[in-house]
Chains A and B, each alone.
Chain A
Amino acid sequence: MTAPSFLSPRLRMALTIAAALGSLVATSVGATAQETKSKLDAVLARGTLIVGTGSTNPPWHFKGANDELQGFDIDIARIVAKGLFDDAGKVQFVQQSSDARIPNLTTDKVDMTCQFMTVTASRAQQVAFTIPYYREGVGLLLPIKGKYKNYADLKAAGDAITVAVLQNVYAEEMVHAALPQAKVDQYDSVDLMYQAVNSGRAEAAATDQSSINWLIVQTPGRYVSAGYSWDPQTYACAVKRGDQEWLNFVNTALHEAMTGVEFDTYAASFKKWFGVELAPPATGFPVEFK
């Protein structure tokens, strides 16, 4: 579940039209100039990696109190930059709304996009996804001093509990997939949803597992996660279609961050934003083929 961005339907349509017009012009202009080199060579020659990402969704990509972009997506981009230039700082971020993720790739505004992008087959027809770097799901946030301690307690409570959730067409359906009898209260914004849990108006809040983990990291000793999550979604970076060499490079950088030489960087970031300590990948037989 990605955060609902403002102006969404109108924006998406306008972006699609603009990008379609853009690529139309691009094909007519670029028809004569043959592209032989990979984006990989272009990026290496330029000396900086240009990454599209957002700026309003902690813990993925947001401005800290120092007004600098930070978050898990930002760290992932830096891992790729380190792979390219041996310098995690050689990356330039282009801020974009969620709806601009695909148009900005197809019009070459950015070399790649790392912006909690859910992998879907229909999106894969427009851009090339890298290997995943996170699996999102919906989880349940509980107050630490509450009556219910975990998912089993909540489920046993049946219709005695109310679950706060961000307003959404599928909100009821989503909560009922995990807690079939629970009452569902929908809220306009994240702060109101957390407020409902704080004030006891709701026994639990259902939201992205990553948001729950981030809230627990930020305000230790106030909340716990119910320890159950559902509705899995794969997050991956994306690049423009049609450049296998560039895609292979980004895949390699991400793969080695999760299984090889850059694992410590990846694990440190994972701990920082999600509060979870990762076990180092097993040595010996390659983990991919287990």
Chain B
Amino acid sequence: MTLLKRGPSRRRVLQTGLAGIIATGVAPAIFTRGAWAQEFCNNPTGDTVTFGLNLPLTGAYAEEGADEQKAYELAVQHLNGEGDGGLLPMLKPSALKGNGILGKKVAFVTSDSQTKADVARAGATRMIERDGAIMVTGGSSSAEAIAVQGLCQEMGVIFMAGLTHSNDTTGKDKRRYGFRHFFNAYQSGVGLAPVLAQEYGTDRRAYHLTADYTWGWTQEESIKNATEALGWQTVQAVRTPLGAADFSQYLTPILNSGADVLILNHYGTDMVNSLTQAVQFGMRDRQANGKDFQIVTPLISELMAKGAGESVKGIFGTSNWHWNLQDAGTQAFTKSFGAKYGSPPSQAAHTAYVQALLYADAVERAGTFYPPAVIAALEGFEFDGMGNGPTLYRAEDHQCIKNVLVVQGNESPTSEFDVLNIVQEIPREDVAYDPAMFGGDLGPAEPVPMCA
């Protein structure tokens, strides 16, 4: 080892080391002094205000991400007074003026979150630190939403969650700076279970396939609790990795498991693949325990139903919203979105659009972009006209409480978009729950953390 011992090293090492340490210690003072003379993160000083759109443009939920992006572009147009105004006149009560937010024109920056929590966080950080985003929104995975929500709390930037259905987002992992308009897995379970009991009876044996992350876990738990309360039994719950392309290895064991219902806790392309493959396996033509074998997809959207095509016919699930609702808000939004993009909006697009409007409205009501004031304006806000009926932004957990739709795959679609039928609209009183049920702690709004 000590073949070539070389000269007295200590002094040189100390000298160089010390120089390095001093340079490291002094440099921050030089570069950062006086750089941040604002009282909260990204206080907009010019005549524009920037939204940060964090969207999965690649990965298992890419299709939802693309639809969300369209919705945000539409929302920004409408907020700036361009286009037909969309839902702007529908929001009641509303402080929106159609001239931007507090007179500032709305701009946006985007980032591809790749349906991965790590990447989503890096993207959100970039939009906050480099592009000066005042608010971050979007995402269509709960893992992303929870990761970004935590980051936004650290940075002092409001996060308006896009499509996230896990109970944890406004439960165990809720944050003061995070808000969710979308419904959650618990509400899906409570809404869906009575319909399942009515259609399939109360002595079923269920087999779950579950996407292996926070959303899948909580949905599996919620559906299990709701169906077991009806008298159903749970045979087994198997976790599948997010983004798996081939589910056959998980589907084969179901046939001999003694189950007569398959519950797919999947979303996006995962759901399209698992549902299509399950139907190709002939599951829906089978008999088990003397009953017809059934498949249930607790959370489903028109994008996925479209992707699954024939396979989705007759299958039950729940949705946050559907473009075929008959209220004025839904019709206005569907018309506006359809006129621009030539297709009806998905529930992901709807929740994204509404979140952008709600944030803008809260800022107008607060009269400032100061996050704690905006948070106070959103907490406990009761509104109507957004297509979901009367809705409450609960102050205790930042969860919107509104009606939940039970939907069924359309047996005889009249167009390529007419793939889901609304079976029932569950009133919001029935799906409300105690905010303390899932634990968690919002944390404080003040002092406002200061992003770098």
- The answer to whether A binds B is no
